[in-house]
Amino acid sequence: MKKFATLALFALLACAPARTGAAEPFFFIQLSDPQLGMFTDNKDFVQDAANFEFAVTAVNRLRPAFVVITGDLVHKPGDAAQIAEYRRVAGKIDAAIPVYHIAGNHDVKNEPTPESLADYIKIFGPDRYTFSYRSVTGIVLNSSVIHSPQAAPQQLAEQERWLRTELMQAKAAGTPHIVVFQHHPWFIATAAEPDQYFNIPLARRAAYLALFREFGVKYLFCGHYHRNAEGRDGDIQNITSGPVGKPLGGAKSGLRVAIVRDAVIEHRYYELGELPVNVELTPPAPTKK
């Protein structure tokens, strides 16, 4: 499919150095966990696909600068029918809008192996990469090898070395916003919270957060939790988006809109039933008192 074959090309074409000086704001959209097959535990993917198509229609109407899909593209790793349906629906996103696909644990298995990673890469392309758009350098990580590296220690080590190099290059280029995108949240609420299924283990979490702080990373966009959540560690925001697909814990399916300004990235999670007609980039005038 053209959309997937041109992913690397989008990243290469966009990797020009960030421009200096004030710039017009723009926005991107984060979709997470379409996870085709989850609603019925792999019996079918009718509702999952309907939600995903609804979100894709919104993307085409809103016209973001780019879209990131932060993992769990399907529910059953390697399922040919689920993958084909994901590609069919994702392929409806206008070809003028770059789409960045990210591996989740349901795409590469809870404990990824060299074989499961190779299978993912063969279908979707690299599981770690960098892209740039104006004032943003996006660093995409495979969080599954960070969360559960037991069967893929070499891939974990390679990604760690690669990440430091990418951070150094982005900082040297003077990129205003170095943003990390991945599937697993580093933490849900606080950086010191105990280990659980939905966060990165503390032993590795602390080291990565220190690395991000060293290079001025302030925004971490994640999924996996199937609920919307936000946590902070000093200047670092861990932004966990709820799912396009099946939500958990009484949450609602939705997507996130992020507006990139010179100094900050503003973001809001919208339930699918409350999506905006358009995205207003100009802040409202201050209310007179």
Query: 259-289, pLDDT tens digit by residue?
Result: 999 999 999 999 999 999 999 998 765 544 4
Q: What is the pLDDT of residue 148?
A: 98
Q: Is the residue at 197 inside a domain?
A: yes
Per-residue pLDDT of the chain (289 residues; tens, 9 = 90+): 444 544 443 443 444 444 445 689 999 999 999 999 999 999 999 999 999 999 999 999 999 999 999 999 999 999 999 999 999 999 999 999 999 999 999 999 999 999 999 999 999 999 999 999 999 999 999 999 999 999 999 999 999 999 999 999 999 999 999 999 999 999 999 999 999 999 999 999 999 999 999 999 999 999 999 999 999 999 999 999 999 999 999 999 999 999 999 999 999 999 999 999 999 998 765 544 4
Sign of CA dihedral 30, 241, 121, 236: positive
Q: Is the residue at 284 inside a domain?
A: no
Q: What is the pLDDT of residue 18?
A: 42
Nearest to 7 by CA among 49, 79, 66: 66
User: Helices 153-172 and 114-124: crossing angle, nearest 10°?
Assistant: 50
Nearest to 199 by CA among 257, 278, 152, 146: 146
Q: Is the residue at 265 inside a domain?
A: yes
For residue 116, give both structure tokens. 């499961």
Nearest to 246 by CA among 4, 98, 43: 43
Q: What is the pLDDT of residue 23?
A: 82
Q: Is the residue at 28 inside a domain?
A: yes
Which residues partner with 239 through β-bridges? 221, 230
How many degrees, rounded to 5, is the angle at CA 249 between CA 245 and CA 252?
45
Which residues partner with 133 through β-bridges? 136
For 209-253, the pLDDT digits (tens) are 999 999 999 999 999 999 999 999 999 999 999 999 999 999 999
Q: Which residue in the block uniquely carries the two structure tokens 């099946």?
A: 246
For residue 21, give both structure tokens. 């000086």
Determine phi and psi for 236, rounding to 5 degrees: -90, 125
Q: Is the residue at 95 inside a domain?
A: yes
For residue 129, give both structure tokens. 């990469």
Determine phi and psi for 111, rounding to 5 degrees: -115, 90
Q: Is the residue at 288 inside a domain?
A: no
Which residues partner with 179 through β-bridges? 138, 219
Gap between the Cα atoms of 220 and 143, Å rounded: 12
Nearest to 140 by CA among 119, 159, 118, 153: 159
Q: What is the pLDDT of residue 285?
A: 54
Q: Is the residue at 109 inside a domain?
A: yes
User: What residue numbers bound the domain in which 217 lies?
Assistant: 2-15+23-273
Tell me the pTM. 0.91
Nearest to 18 by CA among 122, 153, 173: 173
Q: What's the structural domain count of the chain?
A: 1
Gap between the Cα atoms of 199 and 165, Å rounded: 25
Which CATH number covers residue 180?
Answer: 3.60.21.10
Q: Is the residue at 279 inside a domain?
A: no
Q: Which residue in the block uniquely carries the two structure tokens 């894709």?
A: 56
